[in-house]
Amino acid sequence: MPLPADEVVPRTLRVAAAWGWRLIVLTIVAYGIWKVLAQIPVLVFATLVALLLTVLLGPVVTWLRRRTRWPRGLWSLLTVGLTAVLAAGVLALAGRWIAAGVSRTHVDFTGAMGRLENWLTHGRLHLRPEQIDSVITQVETWVAQHTSNLTQGAFQVGSSALDTIMGAILCLVTTIFLLTDGRRIWIFLIAPFPLASRIRIDAGFRSGWRSLSAYIHTQLLVAALDAVMVGTGAAILGSAFALPMAVLVFITAFVPIIGVVVGGGISILAMLLLQGWVAGLVMLAIVAGVQQLESHVMQPFLMGRAVSLHPLAVIFAVTAGSMMFGAAGALFAVPALAVANAGIRTYIRTPLRRPLRPVALTYPHEPPRTDG
């Protein structure tokens, strides 16, 4: 009598096959979600930025709400509005500094390019003009190719001015509603699940949200310190672009470890062209010091306490995110990894049991309530 198929096939192979078909189903589902989200990039990007702003501004709104009798919605509107005005003001001021600096340093920039070309041809390198032109062409091609890869990921955001305006408005409106009605939105989203599973999902969500909040607030502090150090160094060197450099470093530093290298590299190039090689070398030393301080002091002590992620995992996440989704992927890769790491661990550790009485689910930034 032949043996049953389950006894003929080794158990290891049966387990691998069970895992395999489940992974295939999950991959198909993920691919379907991917194709849907790829059709609405502005909505996806605006929602992700709104989540980050909600994490950043949520404690502020809660603190103001607890000390006044004003409605939470009013404080949400005022907080988001003031934040938008402040960001627009800083960018406008940086733009004015750039325009003023360009008008003052146009001759110096032209002269710097001439001195650089003269040093390359008549210095120790003794390069021919056609060699210099070939190198410049290769650099321009490389920059164009990599800029396209970074700015045109799978989700192309802001392809036109109208998309950018719509995305900004949608982001602000979404942030206001999340800050105001976050608790009701969250309860609505998990309401279809059984109560026992709902508790595990809520526990995982809270853990992931706390990890995301710790990451955002810590990265904000790290970016501010990086910007202050680079901007102060540029101001001491007498650069007319000290404030724009600080703003650039602050924005790029939200991409851990790699961001300050990109923003600092642009600052070094500007100092080299506009103020000579001495200022460029000094700025190189400043940026290198800031990068080392972030990598070996601020990231391990601040980010290590806030988010349990190894620096190698951060680098892999940023690289994979930038390759798959462009600049947006580099920005959101580490927050998504932090949320997934904390949320999944808590979900697994939370026992699956039905509570003896109804449990009040609250939004992480709102005080607990007694209603179900």
Are 270 and 110 spatial neighbours (Cβ–Cβ below 8 Å)? no
Q: Which residues contact 329 (CB under 8 A, 6 or more apart)?
A: 153, 154, 320, 321, 322, 323
pLDDT single digits (tens) 187-228 = 888 888 887 788 888 888 888 888 888 888 888 888 888 888
Query: Which residue did the predictor score with more confidence, 326 or 44?
Result: 44
Instruction: Report pLDDT for 127.
Output: 66
Write out the two tokens for 26: 């999950």
The pTM score is 0.72
The domain locations on the chain are: 41-349
pLDDT > 70 in the chain, percent: 72
Average pLDDT over residues 329-337: 83
Whole-angstrom Cα distance, residue 345 to residue 200? 11
DSSP notation for 162-207 = HHHHHHHHHHHHHHHHHHHHHHHHHHHHHTTS-HHHHHHHHHHHHH
Instruction: Report pLDDT for 160.
Output: 64
* Res 107 pLDDT > 60: no
Across 86-95, 117-126, 144-153, 236-245, least confident range? 144-153
Whole-angstrom Cα distance, residue 4 to residue 257? 56
* Res 7 pLDDT > 80: no
Instruction: Report pLDDT for 372.
Output: 38
